[in-house]
Structure 1
């Protein structure tokens, strides 16, 4: 019988750090803060537009610019953490994020706020790969899956609770408090980070600085995301030709990385990671899923505030069942992933669709009344499914990745998620506002159309997870040879598939 990558194989690569759970708490609080800022601004955009006399393009850049720079620096940041040490880069990112949050809160003009949000995204992108990499290095065995489950729950809850948190802060003191709230959290996180996060020795630095690789990858990612941001703004001048440039730059990046490594130098991305079992499939699942579900919460906020005249607080509160469901299922999914593996992710994606499609039908036929009550159960089911997807998928993606490369690998997965989020949000906004241009005031039709589009993207994620599951089962049914086969892409010997 073959032990395949259908189920996560918890490696035991040395004693666990005694302070790992305290360090994880600090990391999750910091990660929650940076991920919350992805969605918290959605409900505050009208107040920002009025208070700063911002143009629609300015408002769009306040939201989308953060995602752009966040995704842009993820891979270089992961590499930096691999080389310089996780704790050092984590604390640097947290310090910058806290300081730039103050810049956002004190912004005198819309242009100032846009620049501050771009810098805030850089700080968030610097910090987040270190969190996943530290989980990979601090935890051992089945505890690693539990820790990733908690991280997945943090991602889902932060994204879902953002509109509610934004609504509460706006009601309490205005939109600037959405950024000021980061100051006490950041300061406490810095102090606890210095005291509780252990120093993880950096791996031996490779030869050469791959600046050309950084430029090619950064240019490719920017060329993908810029036209999506332009499309989201609703303008006529969308530079779609940049997608062609992105393809050229990314192909050039692949050839450059191979040439750079062939000279005995240290590449920005070790492309052999893509041959690691489940890494590529899990990355695709993450990209497609993050293209789907954040757009749901964005459209729901637009629909309730613009179409149903809900306050920012009431619109945010409607998403609470999703957040609660995510938290509940994420708490148990980390332990279950080592027993169930990819089946858990497939089941989670089915549950997301089982909640998302009824929600779209409810909104499509909404004739008034308490729509929030009718959405409660579908959003709860979708949230329960989401908690089964994010953390376990992250565990499966990194299960055979050597710890020394975990920062770069985690950043690659997260970069796909950021691109997916930009693609999905742009598609959702385009479908929503495009429908309203044809049928004015038909907010129910616009929102349901966008939710069906999000469901289609989640279906893509389900297809990718199902294909990976089928491939794992085919590998398991192969005749036993009595030999051990090295996992492709893991020349370090950290992951071996044994045949018995």
Structure 2
């Protein structure tokens, strides 16, 4: 009888593990692509089905919110009932939701379909990382996770350009449908491959699935709390008057109730959506805060910039995709470098990356002032490249540092909580910056330039908050090392 605690060298590798990894990476690429590809489709969606500014915000932020809220529960379901089964269910749901997005006849149906698509993405993502851990050991596992990290970078880089190409092929009014429908054939092929190649779990190892095993109350409280924060921001133009800001009161109560509930769950030894005891570790707490604030800032670059150049300057979707490519390319290249040198520089590397992103964002604002009009795409290319390189020094290194002190047995939940914060940060950031952006357009009577400049400045301020935290952490850590050296 083989012990579950057998050493890694006794593990019998699955002969189909590399082809199974290909399936995982293809699906991971598809779900992450939908984060960035849709930005260049927003003006086309507006023209095609008469979407409002609030609808456009929900199309982007709704996906991120649903994605983030279901990461941890879906990871638990996969652990209990088998990752292959959960993967297949999530993939079927993602394909159907993508088709529903592509066939949407109005803004409401599109937003609902995007929420379901985000939910499906949240189901799939933890299964990909879980399957990599299940299939690989030692050096092979490191290589597999490296390929997954590269896939994330490539999906970010390719998304805007691919979206532009698809919209060019389909036309301004209907090309946006191609952006969603492209997932259908890819997903269908991946589904067949997943059924054949992904490892099945021994029926004897399956665990009973109870609602309490993935904290549904925590999911509802957190989801409603974040939604109450986002609603007045996203609907700022549609809901007249100041009464909408009263929603911040129930938002605060819901989020406070969420924290109390999670503490109660932890005290009773029950499953938690967010393991609050993790935040007793300084490195983890700071890393989560930096990640959430940074994602709130940097993900809005694509949102406001593509709207500005397309609707304000008349760029085609393909030209808009090319305009944001410097950021994506810089991020994809530097992410690999950042992952390899973070051990040497620690949080200082993250601080440098955040500073570069901040400089690049401010540079893009300045470029739009100095070179107004259609030339802004060229003028902002270098600042966006700098911001992209900086972003590569932030995301992967920050994840590494955040999880560094977390015990291995809690690594899964810690990573899920970190990703949840990033996705919720993205959703809230798009809601906030989108509200500022569209309000400024209304105030300036349709002039997109000041709206872009103000919106990106708000996003830069969010990145600046992350930079301040990273600098304080780096200085504190260095002071601690100096004190220890003197004492020794």
Q: TM-score range by the shorter chain?
A: 0.7 to 0.9
Secondary structure class of the residue paired with 1:73:
helix
Aligned counterparts of 2:218 and 2:276: Cα–Cα separation in 1: 12
- Show CA shifts across 1:330-376 (max 9, x none): 22222223333323222221221232221110012223453222222
Aligned to 2:355: 350
Aligned counterparts of 1:434 and 1:248: Cα–Cα separation in 2: 28
- Show CA shifts across 1:390-430 (max 9, x none): 12222222233344444432221122112221232223223
Residues 216 and 252 in structure 1, CA contact (< 8 A), matched pair in contact too: yes
Q: 2:93 aligned with 1:96, yes or no? A: yes
Of stretches 418-427 and 55-64 in structure 1, the one that deviates more from structure 2 is 55-64
Of stretches 163-172 and 34-43 in structure 1, the one that deviates more from structure 2 is 34-43
Q: 2:74 aligned with 1:73, yes or no? A: no
Residues 206 and 265 in structure 1, CA contact (< 8 A), matched pair in contact too: no
Aligned to 2:247: 242
Residues 69 and 219 in structure 2, CA contact (< 8 A), matched pair in contact too: no
Aligned to 1:6: none
How far residue 235 of structure 1 moved from its aligned partner, in angstroms, is 5.6
Aligned to 2:31: 34
Residues 304 and 434 in structure 2, CA contact (< 8 A), matched pair in contact too: yes
Higher relative CO (CA 8 A, sep ≥ 6), structure 1 or 2? 1
Q: After TM superposition, list the pairs within 5 Å mapping 1:244-393 onto structure 2.
A: 244-368=249-373, 370-393=375-398
Residues 371 and 379 in structure 2, CA contact (< 8 A), matched pair in contact too: no
Q: 2:449 aligned with 1:444, yes or no? A: yes
Aligned counterparts of 2:431 and 2:106: Cα–Cα separation in 1: 25
Secondary structure class of the residue paired with 1:278:
helix
Aligned counterparts of 2:447 and 2:123: Cα–Cα separation in 1: 41
Q: 1:293 to 1:155 in 2, by over 3 A?
A: farther
Residues 142 and 338 in structure 1, CA contact (< 8 A), matched pair in contact too: no
Aligned counterparts of 1:435 and 1:231: Cα–Cα separation in 2: 11
Of stretches 135-144 and 156-165 in structure 1, the one that deviates more from structure 2 is 135-144
Q: 1:38 to 1:378 in 2, by over 3 A?
A: same
- Show CA shifts across 1:130-155 (max 9, x none): 33455566666787777666555544
- Show CA shifts across 1:301-330 (max 9, x none): 111112211111111111111111111112
How far residue 195 of structure 1 moved from its aligned partner, in angstroms, is 4.9
Q: 1:348 to 1:426 in 2, by over 3 A?
A: same
Residues 437 and 454 in structure 2, CA contact (< 8 A), matched pair in contact too: yes
Aligned to 1:222: 227
Q: 2:182 aligned with 1:177, yes or no? A: no
Residues 105 and 179 in structure 1, CA contact (< 8 A), matched pair in contact too: yes
How far residue 56 of structure 1 moved from its aligned partner, in angstroms, is 4.8
Aligned counterparts of 1:343 and 1:29: Cα–Cα separation in 2: 34
Residues 352 and 385 in structure 1, CA contact (< 8 A), matched pair in contact too: yes
Size of the aligned set, in residue pairs, is 470
Q: 1:196 to 1:399 in 2, by over 3 A?
A: farther
- Show CA shifts across 1:161-217 (max 9, x none): 433222211111222111111122223333444455556898977995444333323
Secondary structure class of the residue paired with 1:309:
coil
Residues 326 and 384 in structure 2, CA contact (< 8 A), matched pair in contact too: yes
TM-score of the two chains, using structure 2 as the length reference: 0.84
How far residue 256 of structure 1 moved from its aligned partner, in angstroms, is 2.4
Aligned counterparts of 2:243 and 2:85: Cα–Cα separation in 1: 40
RMSD over aligned Cα, in angstroms? 3.3
Q: Gaps (5+ residues) in structure 2? A: 1-6
TM-score of the two chains, using structure 1 as the length reference: 0.82
Aligned to 1:484: none
Q: 2:426 aligned with 1:421, yes or no? A: yes
Structure 1 counterpart of 2:124, from 102, 111, 127: 127
Residues 339 and 397 in structure 2, CA contact (< 8 A), matched pair in contact too: yes
Q: 1:350 to 1:53 in 2, by over 3 A?
A: closer
